A and B are shown apart, each in its own frame.
Chain A
Amino acid sequence: MRTKALEAEIAAVSEDAGAVTRGWGALASRKEPVISVLIILVMWQILSLFLPRYLVPSFATIIVSFVEIVSSSTLMVDTLRTIMRIFIGLGLSFLAGIIVGVLMGFSNTLEKYILPVLHFIMGVPALSWVIFAIIWFKPVELRVAFILLAGCLPNYSLIIHDGIKGISRDYYDMLRAMRPTRRQLFSKLVLPGMLPAVLTSWKVNIGLATRVVIVAELVGATVGIGNKLLLAQELFDMPKAVAWTLILVIFLLLTQYLLLLLERHLLRWRPSKEGGIQ
């Protein structure tokens, strides 16, 4: 059913998520990532000596902008608004996505109807959704929520659907020999069986939503990191632009780290990754 392209895409995003979590582990235990980051920083600093501030600002100016943002109330107002939008968008997408994914997992007929639609939606560029949202809706928050929903829902559904399909029939038969109710089958097999997929879907979508929300905020938001980035662009204030981007990246790394801790706890029954393939 699934196209090669989509499979590649899913593999790429989950690898993406894997790389982030692995990156954290590496950061804690090894010196290599620290060294590579240092090299990039030094090169940036050297470039900043020869290029004008509005192209490559020096660290000093970036840090000044960063401190300015962090010490002013705008940090809280804009950052919180953007984070709120991310989580509202993700929450809505997850609710809808888990329902669609579970329905597809249980009904072959529904699967045949819904899968092609999801594949189609996956093919639509994020910018097209932005344009549709502007044309269809007036309230800014609605536009942002819609764009995030369109971007994240297919990921949630497809990954969760895959997770349910991946539950071994052997377990199903083993439990059915004991005659469970449908509810028991769901709570004892389907729910724990799809948990790894649910966590993967969150890892994939938090990154996606953080990138997409900024684009979505360009559709007329007067508050939010996207808006502040746009302002910095208009003023050619490169240090500010870099500083705001840094705040986003820090947010993303933090949430990924928290997810990793959650995953370690929830999936502690898994054989540890160390010594696995690769």
Chain B
Amino acid sequence: MIPSAPVVQMEHVRHVFTSVDGSRFVAVDDLTLEVREGEIVSIVGKTGCGKSTMFNLLLGLENPTAGSITVLGRDPYQDFDFFRAKFGVIFQTDRLLPWRTAFANAKVGLEILGYSEAEQGEIARHWLHKLELMGFEDAYPHELSGGMRQRVGIARAFCLSPDVFFADEAFGHLDQSTAQRLREVFLTLIGETKKTCLLITHNIHEALEIGSRLIVLGKPSRVLYDVQCPTRASRAELVEFEERILDIIERNEPHHEAAARARS
């Protein structure tokens, strides 16, 4: 198998927040990882461990305090405009513009990229349809349920047909069966397009189901464990795997494999 090109590279990235009163807070501490084209990487870690911060760094919205970040061969903060139409982001909270209807929210990215009205409408409707939102195009965000808003956010990301997907708890506000159905839709779409995808989740089942690889982050962010997801594992093996992950998160220490890699 030919190794595919690296899409995301983070080397010894550190990010420190300085608050108004001058106190410092280390959100990301010496984070090194690489994601290759077509990989679907699930990221798990304690709440507040800096997962969303890591996304902001990869999106070029913040400049890391130290270390280097490369996405698609460029620095997302320095070469900011290179990344037009490259990112599809599903945010942890839906971040729908309250003055736009579901339809207008879904197409906002297409407006920014300068698509014609007709194309905008066609693409946005296609994705709203896929996400079971037909009939709600003209509803404003406050008229939609939390799960519907989240789905409009997903539609907005897919409309752009981006190169890299970032999903921050994309299926967090949904009931079990809807979440399951959307995960399947998501997986099909990602699989069809062979896009690279980073997915933050608190749900280890979800991490294993969608991801081809799993990264466990410590608090503050650094890689504790980086492993290929077991395929065709027996039930017992899965349970054992899950317990191992939970244990690593709880102890907040690098697993011996990751530790060995860090030494080499």
Interface of B is mostly: loop
Question: CB-CB < 8 A to A176: which residues of B?
Answer: 59, 61
Question: CB-CB < 8 A to B101: which residues of A?
Answer: 269
Residue of chain A at shortest CB distance from B55: A177
B195 part of interface (Cβ distance < 8 Å): no
Question: CB-CB < 8 A to A175: which residues of B?
Answer: 108, 112
B112 touches A170 (CB 8 A): no
Q: From residue 164 to 189 of chain A, which have CB atoms closer than 8 A to chain B?
A: 170-171, 173-180, 184, 188-189
B142 touches A173 (CB 8 A): no
Stretch binding the partner chain, chosen from B26-34, B40-48, B82-90, B244-252? B82-90
Q: Which of A174, A177, A179, A192 contacts B99 (CB 8 A)?
A: A192
Nearest chain A CB to B91 CB, angstrom units: 6
A170 touches B91 (CB 8 A): yes
B91 touches A174 (CB 8 A): yes
B100 part of interface (Cβ distance < 8 Å): yes
Q: How large is the interface on A (under 10, 10 to 19, 20 to 34, 35 or more residues)?
A: 20 to 34
Q: A171-B95, A192-B97 are in contact. Are A270 and B142 (CB under 8 A)?
A: yes
B93 part of interface (Cβ distance < 8 Å): yes
B111 part of interface (Cβ distance < 8 Å): yes
A125 part of interface (Cβ distance < 8 Å): no
B56 part of interface (Cβ distance < 8 Å): yes
Residue of chain B at shortest CB distance from A180: B112
Q: Which of A178, A192, A193, A268 contacts B112 (CB 8 A)?
A: A178
B17 part of interface (Cβ distance < 8 Å): no
Q: A171-B95, A176-B61, A269-B99 are in contact. Are A188 and B89 (CB under 8 A)?
A: no
Q: From residue 64 to 107 of chain B, which have CB atoms closer than 8 A to chain A?
A: 80-81, 83-85, 87, 89, 91, 93, 95, 97-101
The distance in angstroms between the C-alpha atoms of A176 and B76, with both chains bound, is 12
Residue of chain B at shortest CB distance from A169: B61
B83 touches A271 (CB 8 A): no
Nearest chain A CB to B140 CB, angstrom units: 5
Count how many chain B residues have C-beta atoms less than 8 Å from C-beta atoms of the other chain: 26
Q: From residue 138 to 195 of chain A, which have CB atoms closer than 8 A to chain B?
A: 170-171, 173-180, 184, 188-189, 192-193, 195
Question: CB-CB < 8 A to A184: which residues of B?
Answer: 111-112
Q: A170-B93, A171-B97 are in contact. Are A179 and B112 (CB under 8 A)?
A: yes
Question: CB-CB < 8 A to B93: which residues of A?
Answer: 170
A179 touches B80 (CB 8 A): yes
B254 part of interface (Cβ distance < 8 Å): no
Nearest chain A CB to B17 CB, angstrom units: 14
Can you list 14 A-B pairs with a CB-CB distance of less than 8 A? A170-B93, A173-B61, A174-B91, A175-B108, A178-B87, A179-B80, A179-B84, A184-B111, A188-B111, A189-B97, A192-B97, A193-B99, A269-B98, A269-B99
- A interface vs B, CB < 8 Å? 170-171, 173-180, 184, 188-189, 192-193, 195, 268-271
The 3 closest A-B pairs by CB, nearest first: A179-B84, A174-B95, A271-B142
